[in-house]
Copies of this chain bind each other. A is one copy, B any other.
Amino acid sequence: MATTLLKVSCPDRVGLLSRLSGWVARHGGNLLEVHQFTDIAAGWFFTRMEIETETLSLDLPAIQAAFQPLASELEADWTIRPAESGMKVVIMVSKLGHCLADLLWRWRSGELAFDIPCVISNHEEFREMVEREGIEFRHIPVAATDKQEAFAQTSALLRSIRPDLVVLARYMQIIPPEICAELHGKIMNIHHSFLPSFVGANPYQRAYDRGVKLIGATCHYATAELDAGPIIDQEVMRVDHFHTPADLVRIGRDCERLALARSVRWHIADRVLIHGNKSIVFRD
């Protein structure tokens, strides 16, 4: 069944859900799934409505146009789009391929439905893994001495693609703040610790040194401040005194894969709404 997704966040006021669901009803829309959250402390309202497309009395451009006046009145951030329209997802990777391989498998098997315009890497390791799936592989080396050039090239490429999501699937370079800003809410990083513990480099070694009994991974939107953007999902697993740093790396890979795959899933289904430094996730 084809469905249309309405995603809205706006300042809270009385009667919002009634007005929004009433607006859908007046356009014939049958609501299949509705999520609503009011952040009382922040005074902000969030909703996601999944509508049976064929019940809508207008086509997509017309329904979008029809929503504009209400959206303006509510000062809302909003999108309306068909659930079936595959998002464009660019994956960036360096030399650790477990997240890339996992995403490719979920994509190939149909578990995650999106389009992959290309995979970008600062290394050549995964060219074959990517190209054998029929996906374009773009090698953009990042010289230690001149990262600016590489990121100018990356930025230009991303502008030409206009992705709905960029996934940093263990891409081990720090993305410049201006790219983070330009792709605000559309660039997702998997960090290999349960943030805010172990921000930055070598989190598994530092987890080992601290003697923690749980290790984890955190998927978050990238912002100018390193590892400090809105958290989408986290996963942890138990470890013990006998686990070496190499064991933590191994066990942590499964945390990373799980947290990343779920976060991508929610993003591409318009289930994540960002407000300030937090993510509202209407999970499925």
A residues at B contact (CB < 8 Å):
14-19, 21-22, 24-25, 30-41, 55, 97-98, 101-102, 105, 109, 111, 132, 194-198, 210-214, 216, 230-234, 236, 238, 240-244, 247, 250, 253-254, 258, 261, 277-281, 283-284
A230 in contact with B212 given A241-B278, A278-B241 (CB within 8 Å): no
**Contact among B101, B105, B242, B247 with A37 in the assembled complex (CB-CB below 8 Å):** B242
- Give min CB distance, A159 to chain B, whole Å: 29
- Give min CB distance, A111 to chain B, whole Å: 6
Q: Give Cα A34–Cα B214 distance, bound, in whole angstroms.
A: 23
**Contact among B31, B34, B234 with A213 in the assembled complex (CB-CB below 8 Å):** B234
Which among A34, A109, A243 has the greatest number of chain B C-beta atoms within 10 A?
Answer: A34
Contact, CB under 8 Å: A230 / B244: no
Contact, CB under 8 Å: A254 / B258: yes
Q: Give Cα A197–Cα B236 distance, bound, in whole angstroms.
A: 14
Contact, CB under 8 Å: B214 / A194: yes
- Give min CB distance, A114 to chain B, whole Å: 15
Contact, CB under 8 Å: B196 / A14: no
- Give min CB distance, A210 to chain B, whole Å: 6
Contact, CB under 8 Å: B30 / A15: yes
Q: Give Cα A261–Cα B253 distance, bound, in whole angstroms.
A: 12
In the assembled complex, which residues on chain B have CB atoms less than 8 Å from the CB atom of A16?
31
Contact, CB under 8 Å: B24 / A18: yes
Contact, CB under 8 Å: A214 / B197: no
Contact, CB under 8 Å: A233 / B211: no
In the assembled complex, which residues on chain B have CB atoms less than 8 Å from the CB atom of A31?
15-18, 36, 38
- Give min CB distance, A233 to chain B, whole Å: 6
Which among A16, A214, A283 has the greatest number of chain B C-beta atoms within 10 A?
Answer: A214
Closest to A250 in B: B111
**Contact among B37, B41, B55, B232 with A14 in the assembled complex (CB-CB below 8 Å):** B55
**13 A–B contact pairs at CB < 8 A?**
A17-B21, A18-B25, A31-B38, A32-B40, A34-B36, A105-B105, A132-B132, A196-B197, A196-B210, A196-B212, A241-B279, A247-B284, A254-B258
- Give min CB distance, A96 to chain B, whole Å: 9
Contact, CB under 8 Å: B242 / A230: no
- Give min CB distance, A270 to chain B, whole Å: 15
Closest to A25 in B: B18
Closest to A261 in B: B254
Contact, CB under 8 Å: B38 / A33: yes
Contact, CB under 8 Å: A211 / B234: no
- Give min CB distance, A164 to chain B, whole Å: 22
Contact, CB under 8 Å: A105 / B98: yes
In the assembled complex, which residues on chain B have CB atoms less than 8 Å from the CB atom of A210?
195-196, 231, 277
